[in-house]
Amino acid sequence: MTLQEIFQAENTIMLLERSIMAKEGPLKVAQTRLECRTWRPNVELCRDAPQFK
């Protein structure tokens, strides 16, 4: 029974790690776009709905 609980915990950890890795790509894209919107040279700072979501 203890081995089964350890296996389930390890399986849960593995699934969480996979979920985190799957979300890293879209997060990097969103951060890059936000950075580009914030530091556009010679353009007024854009503060609209996408900026605040």
Residues 38, 45: contact at Cβ < 8 Å?
yes
Statement: residue 28 has pLDDT above 70:
yes
Looking at residue 49, its pLDDT comes to 72
Amino acid found at 23? K
Q: What is the mean pLDDT of the chain?
A: 86
Statement: residue 50 has pLDDT above 70:
no
Going by C-alpha positions, the residue among 32, 30, 22, 24 that lies closest to residue 50 is 30
Statement: residue 45 has pLDDT above 70:
no
Looking at residue 36, its pLDDT comes to 78
Average pLDDT over residues 31-46: 75
